[in-house]
Chain A
Amino acid sequence: MTAVGTPRDQLMSSPPRARRGKARRPAMLGAVPYLLMAPAVLVILAVLGYPLFRLIELSFQQYGLKQILSHKVDWIGFSNYQSIFADSQFWEILLRTLLFTAVNVALTMVFGMLVALLLRKTSAWARWLVNFGMIFAWATPVVVAITIFEWIFDQQYGVLNWTLTHLFHVGDFAQHDWFENPVVGLGVITALVVWGALPFVVISLYAGLTQVPKELEEAARVDGASAFGVFRNVTYPFLRPLLLIVTSLEIIWDFGVFNQVYIMLHASPTPPYYLMSIYSYIQSFGVGKYGLGSAVAVVMVIILLIAAVGYVRQLLRIGEVE
């Protein structure tokens, strides 16, 4: 991120540079980069490639307790996919998951951007304090964070119900069940997810902001640009590649949210709370239809691949600049 000058040109254009053009290099040396990469590639294949391969394989099989014990597999082609696509519950869950993801990513990015911008304006000690808090929130293991939220929103002993009733007197919230209405309940979970994601976004974006040349923004301001105009026309173009990457990552993470729902609802979320990941888990480990659960997971992977295209393209572009 050491771009200077017109950022859009520098970052966005991809002139085909003849970097590998040193033709006189000995032939043997050509293998060296691949040899150096080989260990990493092998590890990635073993750790990510094999499970993915098994997942796809399972999604074309009928795989349950019988198959686990007999070590014989029953290939059933696209039957698993046919049955999930024919299931109206699946489409409902897919829609809910997409909505949930969209809301979570939007809130995370907007809040993250605002806090990052705020950090530029604050005094050093305030910035230090916010960063300190952010790192703490970031360092909280997700299960611990969920448990804390669980207690805040607990119907019987929750501190929130007590605070609303006895401290702010906004009404009688004693015994108020935050999870009775699934929209509100998913809202609580959204708060938890956004809270957990903010530190990464803020710290990344703040780092990005430090690379935006001050003199350009100043020049724009002197020319009479509004605060939003400065952001839109100067800051944003510099941040665009970074924003794309962070947003892609957020989409990937939020689309696969599992713990926050599963643990928050005591390992038995009711159907209005089913997201794709929960549905896949219940089909696999609850009902014991591992093939069907895998098919759901494969659909998830495919949707995420689409989201990841933006991320990968951006990564490649940055590589070209350097």
Chain B
Amino acid sequence: MKARYLTVAGLAAALAVAGCSSSGGGTANNTTSPSSGGSSSSSPASQQPSSAAPNSASGTLTVWLQVDAQKGWPDAVTAANTAFNQKYPNVKVDVQYQQWNDHLTKFDTQLAAGTAPDVIEMGNTEMAKYMANGAFADLTNDVGQFPNSDTWLQGLAGSAQLDGKTYGVPYYAGARAVIYRTDLYGSNDPSKAATVDDLINDCKAVQAASKDKAFSAFYIPGQYWYMAMGFVYGNGGAIATSDGGKWTGALESSQAQQGLQKWVDLVKACSKAPANTDEAHPNQYQVFEQNTAGAIYDAGWVPGYVQGAKADGGNPDLKGKVGVMAMPGFTADKGMSTFLGGSDLAIPATSKHTDWAEAWVSAFTTTDEQKAFIKAGNLPNTTSLLADAAADTNLAPYAKAAQNSWFTPASKNWVSVEKANVLKNMLTAILQGKSIDSQTKAADQQITQLLNAGA
């Protein structure tokens, strides 16, 4: 019990530190009563001058959410729409689900054509470039009307803030942890591993025991850069460092290279996954369900999902055979660094219905909705619910993992590095036999160039 509270406290501290340096925007100076954090869907829109009364307003509100919501918490979306429609009975909510790999491409073209959605879910690493270019409505003065805005996780809220202004509402956060088969690992219990070297020994033993050539004791796709970079940060390295606004790729530093080497050791020892695919092609949890992976490194909703009913996409045979643990670090006293993932909800500046959009975002981020996200395996957007997350057996290791988290370089150009596949290409080349030294140097060159590019 005590450990749990320590976890919560540690998590809260970690998430607060992980944020950008932003001062937290307008939460303090907003005088309109901040939402109590309760589950009521009291209309935020009524608190601001609205051109039309909610009852008579009619039209369509277009919302872009990522497929995660469609798969993981569709009921929460329906609940938000219902709550929104109580206030705006004549506004139709059109929720369109997008894929991660091309939603920004679509967003760019829709912006150019002037048909962008009214609400868009953005990955927290994707926000900076768009905020810097003025793509989103400034919500600074309305922050107080969003539920729990005074207790938002600063680590996540920071990704939606720039120069003291707020351009998005934190949606949910996520960490990654090791999900493993207790029946396959058996006496090589990885949860007893104090360091990543211990884990490698465990998975080597499991790999050796398997006769199936396609079996990976620890399935790690070669382009899984979120994981690989965790080893870089976990060993004291970084993707890039900033000096007075000028960025320099830092993967060729000895800490980063050693961290990468350890990741490569783990992959070579225990994974048969292709070197040129990422964690979504195929989805690694599906590989896990097929009995061809002894362990994967995946998000908080996965443990529950893979043990679920067949109709829901799970494999019921795995029920009771799945363990979850935080990835051990380089030394026994510190866990491996995990990427603090998550999403924000932003309102494009081109939206003609900012008031509707704000009302919908409020309805979608209430305490009740956040509880639904927790249930689906995510970390909540508010510190007030962290205890709930740590109390969930599947989620507790994630809360622990998040105590050591890393985030992508806070440059407005970061997303270019991501979308140009710089890190993915580097990892594939390394796993296919090129030297870590030459590949990190080549990647650094590209990273430096992309991060320092003009607007």
Q: Mark A residues whose CB is within 8 Å of B.
A: 64-66, 68-70, 155-157, 174-175, 177, 179-180, 265-268, 270-271, 282, 285-288
B355 to chain A minimum Cβ distance, whole angstroms, is: 21
Complex Cα gap A287–B432 (Å): 25
In angstroms, Cα B132 to Cα A69, docked, is 11
Chain B residues numbered 78-109 whose CB sits less than 8 Å from any CB in chain A: 101-102, 105, 108
Whether A68 touches B278, Cβ cut-off 8 Å, given contacts A175-B213, A268-B424, is no
The interface size bin for chain B is 35 or more
Contact present for A287 and B416 (CB under 8 Å): yes
CA distance A179 to B432 in the complex (A): 11
- Contact between A65 and B130 (Cβ–Cβ < 8 Å)? yes
A270 touches B111 (CB 8 A): no
Kindly report which residue of chain A lies nearest to residue B412, judged by CB atoms.
A65
Give the top 3 A-B pairs by smallest Cβ distance, nearest first. Answer: A266-B281, A286-B419, A174-B213
- Asked if B365 is an interface residue, CB under 8 A from chain A, the answer is no
Apart from A69-B134, A69-B135, A270-B429, what 20 extra A-B contacts exist at CB < 8 Å? A65-B130, A65-B133, A155-B274, A156-B214, A156-B292, A175-B213, A179-B276, A265-B276, A266-B277, A266-B281, A267-B101, A267-B281, A268-B101, A270-B276, A270-B421, A270-B424, A282-B419, A282-B420, A286-B416, A288-B108
Q: Which residues of B contact A265 (CB under 8 A)?
A: 276
CB nearest neighbor in A for B108: A68
Within 8 A of A (CB), among B101-142: 101-102, 105, 108, 111-112, 129-130, 133-135
Interchain CA distance A70-B133 in the complex, whole Å: 9
Alpha-carbon separation in the docked complex, A271 to B421 (Å):
9
Which residues does chain A contribute within 8 Å of B424, judged by CB atoms? Answer: 268, 270
19 A-B residue pairs with Cβ-Cβ distance under 8 Å, sorted by A, are A65-B111, A65-B129, A65-B135, A65-B455, A156-B272, A174-B214, A175-B272, A180-B275, A266-B277, A268-B101, A268-B421, A268-B424, A270-B429, A282-B420, A286-B416, A286-B419, A287-B416, A287-B450, A288-B108
From A63, which residue of chain B is reached at the shortest CB distance? Answer: B112
Q: Smallest CB–CB gap between B238 and chain A, Å?
A: 22
Interchain CA distance A282-B415 in the complex, whole Å: 13
- Report B-chain residues with C-beta under 8 Å of the C-beta of A174: 213-214
Q: Quick one: given A174-B213, A180-B275, A270-B276, are A286 and B292 in contact (CB under 8 Å)?
A: no
Closest beta carbon of chain B to A184's beta carbon, Å = 12
The answer to whether B416 and A288 touch across the interface, beta carbons within 8 angstroms, is yes
- Are A69 and B419 neighbours in the complex by a CB distance under 8 Å? no
The number of inter-chain residue pairs (CB within 8 angstroms) is 81
Give the complex CA separation of A288 and B281 in angstroms.
24
- Shortest C-beta distance, A111 to chain B (Å), equals 29
| Chain A residues within an 8 Å CB radius of B408 | none
The answer to whether B425 touches A270 (Cβ under 8 A) is yes
B281 engages A287 (CB within 8 Å)? no
Q: A197 CB to closest chain B CB, in angstroms?
A: 26
The answer, yes or no, to whether B35 is at the interface (CB within 8 Å) is: no
Question: Within the assembled complex, what's the spacing in Å between the Cα atoms of A179 and B428?
Answer: 11
Cα-based distance from A266 to B428 in the complex (angstroms)? 13
B274, A177: Cβ atoms under 8 Å? yes
For A271, list chain B residues within 8 Å (CB): 425
CA distance A208 to B455 in the complex (A): 56
Known interface pairs A69-B349, A155-B274, A270-B425. Does A286 touch B420 (Cβ–Cβ under 8 Å)? yes
CB contacts (< 8 Å) of B287 on chain A: these are 156
CB-contacts of B264-322 with A (<8 A): 272-278, 281, 287, 292
* In the complex, residue of chain B having the shortest beta-carbon distance to the beta carbon of A281: B105
Rounded to whole angstroms, the CA-CA distance of A287 and B277 in the bound complex is: 20
A residues in contact with B274, CB < 8 Å: 155-156, 177, 179
Residue B403 lies at the interface, judged by CB distance under 8 Å to chain A: no
Residues of A within 8 A of B429 (CB): 270
B66 within 8 Å of A by Cβ? no
The smallest beta-carbon distance between B451 and chain A, in angstroms, is 12
Chain B residues with CB below 8 A from A155, complex form: 274
**Is residue B405 contacting chain A, with contact meaning CB distance below 8 A?**
no
- With a cutoff of 8 Å between Cβ atoms, the chain A residues found around residue B428 in the complex are 270
Q: A66–B273 Cα gap in the complex (Å)? A: 39
A175 partner residues in chain B, CB cutoff 8 A: 213-214, 272
The interface residues of chain A lying within 8 Å CB-to-CB of B425 are 270-271
Kindly identify which residue among B111, B273, B432 contacts A69, using a CB–CB cutoff of 8 Å.
B111
Specify which chain A residues have a CB less than 8 angstroms from the CB of B130 in the assembled complex: 65
CB distance from A110 to the nearest CB of B (A): 31
**Within 8 Å CB of A270, what residues of B?**
276, 421, 424-425, 428-429
Once the chains are docked, how many angstroms separate the CA of A288 from the CA of B128? 14
Q: In whole angstroms, how far apart are the Cα atoms of A89 and B317 in the complex?
A: 50
Q: Chain A contacts of B450 at CB under 8 A?
A: 287
Please determine whether B108 and A66 come into contact, CB atoms closer than 8 angstroms. no
Q: Is the CB of A69 within 8 A of B416?
A: no
Residues of B within 8 A of A68 (CB): 108, 111-112
Q: Please, which residue of chain B has its CB at the minimum distance from the CB of A174?
A: B213
Q: Which residue of A lies closest to B99 (CB)?
A: A267
